Chains A and B, each alone.
Chain A
């Protein structure tokens, strides 16, 4: 599992990367009431704004952490945005991406480094 400075987590699953946001992020955002996910099949470039999250407080963007193709999105999250609060690193995942350059993963933090960043 890797982490971005934008509070995304990235979990390898076969040749895909599952992406969500951390519990720290969902706690900061407060109750999440709306999630707009990218289209399956979309080709995205690292740092594209591809997800919109609305909490009771404000809207935030989630950036594509990697270049690649969106192969699956969590439709359950669109119907029930509170999953992101209830199970941020499990059922609250956002999308699965097939990276075109898996080495982009190397620049991200491991858990210890992320925990140090938010401490």
Chain B
């Protein structure tokens, strides 16, 4: 335990009664005394405060934003050059085999690009960018915490600290002054709810968290509910639903690759793995990530094999994330199936404790997204 990293909010988590677990090298809160189910519901109905300081915050600086963006487009297949100032978008690093190295959020901050990457991948991501992008400067920001405030009450709560929060639209980025701290705020998150992600100087993070928690509508939320919230929202967890062997087309993430980077676009290709990914997008793939609703009450989790019929001998796919969906009120899952079994409404069978149980292929998100567009 002693070699685990701690976020600037570690002592606050302990004082709030969190149950701590190791996650991606950090000692993180998995739940608070409220419990996972209620934390989930609280986030969907009011607002939840998440410590996501374990994630990597990275600044990429060139002569100007355009030069930083042009460099990043060699590693990331999304439209970074045309991203407007103070706007953010989802993306991922790809590999030569057309797989996904990591997924990320990227913002145009005027004179640089600001990137947030997964905790488990951040050291690799930064070393990779530094090795591949010698024409720009890649710097990990280690003196800031990262908080997420998510849920329908998030706007009203954050506006009490800085009214400009209410003017932001989904995926806008702004510098706000929150509880006296200069914060880099984006209107985004990973729960399917409206909300904000807030980069705050490490030494001011506790004061900001306490100011947010002082609102009746805000409760601290652990990694347990973060997982069930993102699963209901149909969002991928890197290392589970997507990994180095997943083509973005298989992962149903083609939407993140804008036309300008695709075959026939003004800047088609030019990124690692383009020769594999672009044909997959235009010609189709053999397997696809789908939403799955178990027809019974038994949750089916990661690793459950999927079969085309109740008595088929060999599996055709696997569940990559699954559990109970508190808002849905039933188990939910996602996984990979052959494309010919991926249509909504198709019945497949999962093998659980030696029994074959039916699941229905379903559209995601399982709960309607609640973004402020």
Q: Which residues of A contact B (CB under 8 A)?
A: 30-31, 33-34, 36, 52, 54, 56-57, 59, 78, 82
Cβ proximity bits B28-43 to A, threshold 8 Å, 1 near / 0 not: 0001000111100000
The verdict on A34 contacting B224 (CB below 8 Å), with A56-B37, A56-B324 known, is no
A30 CA to B223 CA, complexed, in Å? 13
Q: A31-B35, A36-B298 are in contact. Are A52 and B353 (CB under 8 A)?
A: yes
Q: How many residues of B contact A (CB 8 A)?
A: 15
B37 to chain A, nearest CB (A): 4
Q: B residues within 8 Å of A by Cβ?
A: 31, 35-38, 224, 228, 297-299, 301, 323-324, 331, 353
Judging by beta carbons under 8 Å apart, are A34 and B324 in contact? yes
Which residues of A are found within 8 Å of B297, using beta-carbon distances?
Answer: 34, 78
Max chain B C-beta neighbours (<10 A), residue from A34, A56, A57, A59: A56
Q: Which residue of A lies closest to B324 (CB)?
A: A33
Shortest beta-carbon distance, B77 to chain A, in Å?
Answer: 35
Interfacial chain B residues near A54, Cβ < 8 Å = 298-299, 324
* Residues of chain B lying within 8 A (CB to CB) of residue A56: 36-37, 224, 228, 323-324
Q: How far is the CA of A52 from the CA of B299 in the complex (A)?
A: 11
B residues near A59, Cβ cutoff 8 Å = 299, 301
The 9 closest A-B pairs by CB, nearest first: A33-B324, A31-B37, A56-B36, A54-B299, A31-B35, A34-B297, A31-B36, A34-B298, A34-B299
A30 touches B299 (CB 8 A): no
Within the complex, the shortest CB–CB distance from B221 to chain A, in Å, comes to 13
Whole-angstrom distance between the alpha carbons of A31 and B353 in the complex?
A: 21
A59 to B303, CA, bound (A): 13
A59 to B323, CA, bound (A): 10
CA distance A33 to B297 in the complex (A): 9
Instruction: Report A94 CB to chain B, min CB distance, Å.
Output: 16
Residues on the A chain within 8 Å of B35, using CB: 30-31
Look across to chain B and name the residue whose beta carbon is closest to the beta carbon of A54: B299
* A34/B31 in contact, CB under 8 A: no
Chain B, residue nearest A35 (CB): B297
User: CB distance B31 to A30 under 8 Å?
Assistant: yes
Cα–Cα, bound, A82→B298 (Å): 14
Complex CA–CA separation, A9 to B263 (angstroms): 65
CA distance A36 to B299 in the complex (A): 11
Q: By the criterion CB–CB under 8 Å, are B324 and A57 in contact?
A: no
| Interchain CA distance A59-B352 in the complex, whole Å | 11
Contact B331 A34, beta carbon cutoff 8 Å: yes
A33 and B299 form a contact (CB under 8 A): yes
Q: Which of B36, B301, B331, B353 contacts A30 (CB 8 A)?
A: B36
Beyond the given A31-B36, A34-B298, could you list 20 further A-B residue pairs with CB under 8 A, ordered by the A residue number? A30-B36, A30-B224, A31-B38, A33-B37, A33-B299, A33-B324, A33-B331, A34-B299, A34-B324, A34-B331, A36-B298, A52-B353, A54-B298, A54-B324, A56-B36, A56-B224, A56-B323, A56-B324, A57-B224, A59-B301
A60 to chain B, nearest CB (A): 12
Cα of A56 to Cα of B331 in the assembled complex, Å: 10
Contacts of A52 in B (CB 8 A): 298, 353
A36→B300 CA distance, assembly (Å):
13
Can you report 24 A-B residue pairs in the complex whose CB atoms are below 8 A from each other?
A: A30-B31, A30-B35, A30-B224, A31-B35, A31-B37, A31-B38, A33-B37, A33-B299, A33-B324, A34-B297, A34-B298, A34-B299, A34-B324, A34-B331, A52-B298, A54-B298, A54-B299, A56-B36, A56-B37, A56-B324, A57-B36, A59-B299, A59-B301, A82-B37
Q: Which residue of B lies closest to A49 (CB)?
A: B353
How distant is B192 from chain A, measured CB to nearest CB, in Å?
A: 18
CA distance A33 to B225 in the complex (A): 14
B301 proximity list for chain A (CB < 8 A): 59
Instruction: Give chain B nearest CB distance to A57 CB in angstroms.
Output: 7
A93 and B31 CA atoms in complex are apart in Å by 26
Most buried by B among A31, A33, A78, A82: A33
A88 to B297, CA, bound (A): 21
Complexed CA–CA distance, A57 and B331 (Å):
13
In the complex, chain A residues whose CB is within 8 Å of the CB of B324:
33-34, 54, 56
Distance of A31 Cα from B297 Cα, bound (Å): 15
Closest residue of chain B to A36 (Cβ to Cβ) is B298
Cβ of A68 to closest chain B Cβ, rounded Å = 23
Determine the residue in chain A with the shortest Cβ distance to B36: A56
Residue of B nearest to A28 (CB): B19
Q: How far is the CB of B139 from chain A (nearest CB, A)?
A: 37
